[in-house]
Every structure is written in C-alpha cells, then in structure tokens.
Structure 1
Amino acid sequence: MPEVIFNGPEGRLEGRYHHSKAENAPIALILHPHPQHGGTMNNKVVYNLYHAFARRGFSVLRFNFRGVGRSQGAFDNGQGELSDAASALDWMQSLNANADQCWVAGFSFGAWIGMQLLMRRPEIAGFVSVAPPANIYDFTFLAPCPSSGLIVHGTGDEIVPGAAVQKLATKLQSQKNITVEYRPVDGANHFFNNHLDPMVAVVDDYVARSLGRK
C-alpha cells in the first residue's frame, strides 16, 4: 500500500495506491467523506472499499481531497474536490493505460463527487455509492445516469434518511440501458459502525457479479 503524491489543480495530493499484478487490470478510484466533518482517505468505510476492490484484482487509489492530510489547497465546496478526483483518475490512468475497466466508489460526500465524476468521464463503467447524501446535495444532474452501479445505505442512517436514498435509487432504476441496484444494510448507521463487514460483503458481491458479466 505505497504512499503516493501526485499533482492536483491546487498543488500536491496525497494518496495510497495498490497496483494489481494482473495485466490490464481494472482500476478503481475511492473517494472519502466530507473534509470539514473529519473525512479522510483513512475513513473506515473508504479503507474497506479500497481493500475490497484490491482483493478483486483492481489497481486502486484512495486519496485526500485538497486541504486534508498532506494534500495542498483548501476546501472548495465540491467544485475543487471534483477537479481533484479528475486529477486522481488522470494519474491512475497514466499508470494503467490498458485497464479494461474503470470504476469509481465514494462514501457520503465522496459518493456525491463520484457521481459527478461519472457524468464527466465516459470511460467510467461502474460505480459504488455508499450512503449518498441525497437529502443534502442535488443529484438531479444524473439525467441520465450513464453507467450501471450499486447504491448501499444503512437502514439506521441518522444523517441521510433512507427515503431520500430510496427515491434517488428508484429514479435511477427507471432509466433505460443501465441497471442500478439498491442494497440496504440492516441496522447500519451512516458510518456503518459495527456493520462494515456486511457493507463490504454487499459491495464485493456486486463487483464480482459485474466482473463476471464483462
């Protein structure tokens, strides 16, 4: 799990990168929760997503948005963070020019950024959105959502009501040419405390099935 530093729009960005031993391995970018609420690339949900993709043979990058940890810059209400994510994807693609698939996964604020990145980067073939804050941020930009993916949400989430996420999932599920799965994790709160294993199991099952459909 080597530490990496790469150039972002506002200076250096700090990350952790796992390079798959498989030739032309798929790549995955993992995005962390809100920087102003303690979100970092070492968040437990982000850390577990990172390793779930690595175990499935992906080359995986997680990184700190601007102003977090050793990443330079200052919080920019999402716009700058989206640019950071695009730079991170560029950096990973420069090392994996022949990757056969590209995925993005995000938790909470990171899920919102990830879905915006999905709209801007047609090469992203799949997504995982964990606890997307559909009650806080506008997701209407997903019109239409260009890729199939997975939405995971805890039924005990005290920050993002399940009804808001269910509404988002239902809207995406009605779109043609893509398939969006909605998987609740029974009893899990927003941070999946004591429910990380079932969350990872849901993600791992989805990724395994998706890779099998290639």
Structure 2
Amino acid sequence: MPDVIINGPEGRLEGRYLHNREANAPVAIILHPHPQHGGTMNNKVAYHLFHTFAKQGFSVLRFNFRGVGRSQGVYDRGEGELSDAASALDWLQTINPNARACWVAGFSFGAWIGMQLLMRRPEIEGFVSVAPPANMYDFTFLAPCPSSGLIVQGQKDELVPEPSVAKLVQKLQAQRGIAIDYRVIPDADHFFKDQMELLCEHVADHVDKRRAAAA
C-alpha cells in the first residue's frame, strides 16, 4: 500500500492509496473524523472503510486533512478541508481516468465533508456516511441530495445521538429520485467499538446491492 503525496490547496497532503488492477475499476475516497479531536486517516473506522472498499474491488484513497500528520496547512473549520477532499479526488481521478464509478465515504466530521463534496461533484454516484454529526453541523445543503447512499449509525452513540441522524434520514428519504439505506447498529457507540466487523459487513452489503442493481 504505497504512501502518496498529493498537491493540496495549502501544500502537500499525505495519503495512502491502494490500486485495483482490474481495468476501469471504480474509485472511492475515504474521509477521516475531526482533525482537532484526534482524527487522522489511520482512525480505525476510516482504516476499515478503506479496506472494505478495497475488498469490494475499488481503487481507494485515504488521506490526512491539512495540518494532520505530514499534511501541510492548518485546520480551517471545514471549508479548507472540503477543498482538500476535492484536490484528493482530482488526484484519484487523474490516476484512474476511466473508472466506471466514483464513491465517497466518511466518518463523523468526514461524513459531513463527504456530503458537501457530493454536492459539488456530480460524478460521485454513491456515498457511505458513518455517524454523520447531524446534531453538530448543518446538513440542509442536501436539498436535494444528488445521489443514493448508505448511512450507518450506532444506536448507543454518545456524541451523535441516533434520533438526530434519524431526523436527517427522514428528510433525505422524502426526496424523490434517490434511495437512502439507513442502518442502525444496536450496541454500537460512536467509534463502533466491538462492532467494527458488523459495520464493514453493512458497507460491503450495500455496495454489493448497488452494484448488482446497476449491472
């Protein structure tokens, strides 16, 4: 799994990239949780999302937002981090110009950034949002949400209460033309301690079903 350096808006961005040898393999970008609360691309949820997409046949990239690890710059309240994600996606698409599909997956703060990236990049056809912080950030920009996707939430999440995510899901499910697959893991906390395998199974199952439907 090679280390990669991406030219970001504020300098280099540090990443990890796994290339699928299949011609025209789909691509996915993984976004980590909050930089000011210990979030990095090596966060356990981000790490397992990365490998789940790799096992599903994707060429997949995870990277550190500005100011994290060896990535240059400083935290920018989400605005700069969205620009970082766009630059990372540009890099991924340059490496894979003929990818047949493009997905974005994010955890917590990364889920919020991922949904904003979804609004800016019409080529993204699928998303996975794990514990989107609907109680902390405004998600009203998803009007309408341009793509179908999966939202996974821990029922015992102590940082993002499940009812706040359920309310967001209800609003999205009311929109026409998309399908929101909402899955709640009963005993999971915010970091999916002891539930990581089940989280990955839900992600893989959703991706399998989407790809089967598109075939």
Normalising by the residue count of structure 2, what TM-score does the alignment of the two structures yield? 0.99
* 2:150 is equivalent to residue 155 of structure 1: no
Quote the residue 1:207 is aligned against: 207
Q: In the alignment, which residue of structure 2 is the partner of 1:137? A: 137
Kindly provide the CA deviation profile for residues 87-109 of structure 1, in whole angstroms up to 9, marking residues without a partner as x: 00000000110000000000000
Q: For the residues of structure 2 that align with 1:75 and 1:87, how far apart are their CA atoms?
A: 16
- 1:76-87 equivalences under 5 Å are 76-87=76-87
**2:124 maps to which residue?**
124
Distance 2:211 2:36 in 1: 35
How do 1:7-156 residues align onto structure 2 when only pairs under 5 Å count?
A: 7-156=7-156
Q: Secondary structure at the match of 2:12?
A: strand
User: SS of the residue aligned with 1:45?
Assistant: helix
| Counterpart amino acid of residue 79 in structure 2 | Q
Aligned AA (1:128) = V
Residues 132-182 of structure 1, C-alpha deviation per residue, up to 9 Å, x if partnerless? 000000000000000000000000100001000000011111111110111
Structure 2: distance between partners of 1:176 and 1:24: 30
Alignment of 1:181-192 (within 5 A): 181-192=181-192
How big is each residue's C-alpha offset from its partner over 1:176-207, in whole Å with a ceiling of 9 and x where there is no partner?
Answer: 11101110011100000111011111111000
The secondary structure found in structure 2 opposite 1:16 is strand
Instruction: Please give the alpha-carbon distance, in whole angstroms, between the structure 1 residues aligned to 2:17 and 2:210.
Output: 23
Aligned letter for 1:133? P
SS of alignment partner, residue 128 of structure 2 = strand
Unmatched tracts of structure 1, length 5 or more: none
The 3-state SS of whatever aligns with 1:212 is: helix
Query: Mean Cα displacement is larger for which, 141-150 or 168-177?
Result: 168-177
Listed one character per residue, the Cα deviations across residues 6-53 of structure 1 (whole Å, up to 9, x for unaligned) are 100000000000000110000000000000000000000000000000
User: Is 1:195 matched with 2:171?
Assistant: no
Q: For 1:79-135, what per-residue CA distance to the aligned partner results, in whole angstroms no more than 9, with x for missing partners?
A: 000000000000000011000000000000000000000000000000000000000
Gaps of 5+ in 2: none
C-alpha distance in 2, partners of 1:169/1:22?
A: 34
Number of residue pairs aligned between Structure 1 and Structure 2:
214
For the residues of structure 1 that align with 2:147 and 2:186, how far apart are their CA atoms?
Answer: 26
Deviation at 1:211? Answer: 1.0
The alignment-based identity, stated in percent, is: 69
